[in-house]
Amino acid sequence: MNQPVDANEKELSQGIKTLLEFGPLVAFFAANWWGGIFVATIAIMIVTPITLAITWYITRKLAVMPLVTLGFVAVFGGMTLYLHDETFIKIKVTIINTLFAVILLGGIAFKKPLLKFVFGQAMNLDEAGWKKITINWGLFFLGLAVINEMVWRNVSTDTWVNFKTFGILPLTFLFAITQMPLMQRHMIEDDKSE
């Protein structure tokens, strides 16, 4: 039996979804190349809410993580521009990743693997699988926070922008791929006949 679908809700095609997810990052990188970090900060502050508005217009729903990111972009981007200090846009990456790590690992401390609530409809894992995958992603986000701190404090702003654009994303994809065997081991087969 099919799930009832709200007539107003639509799914994004993979191409549109990818464009909307990476639009702010591409705008940030291109604007930094063209006009420097402050222009890049303005660009990401403009493009991020536009992509979320387009997503909502098409699907009539928004995920929590992009909304949290929007809040951080607004606050730290605003501080960067107002104080004319690029440190704030750089530490935004550290703070977001630390926040995600604390939320995920804190959930485990309270015996609530929070990734299950986010991805439970897309994946059907047993409880041990949800716990392991949540811990792994929590530690990964913590690692990204530490790496970002080491990079921005020791390299030029342009090099940091390159790391943010071409380093964090591939690291995240590679880490996600390394989690596939764990997910497969803990996958619960859906034996319900439709």
Query: Domain extents for the chain?
Result: 10-83, 86-188
pLDDT band (50, 70, 90) for residue 9: low
> Could you report the per-residue pLDDT of 11-54, keeping only the tens digit for each?
778 788 888 888 999 999 999 999 999 999 999 999 999 999 99
Checking if the pLDDT of 193 tops 90, the result is no
Residue 59's alpha-carbon distances to 6, 13, 29, 65, in angstroms, are 10, 11, 27, 16
Q: Is the CB of residue 152 less than 8 Å from the CB of residue 90? A: yes
Checking if the pLDDT of 2 tops 60, the result is no
Residue found by looking up tokens 């991805």 in the block: 119
Checking if the pLDDT of 110 tops 80, the result is yes
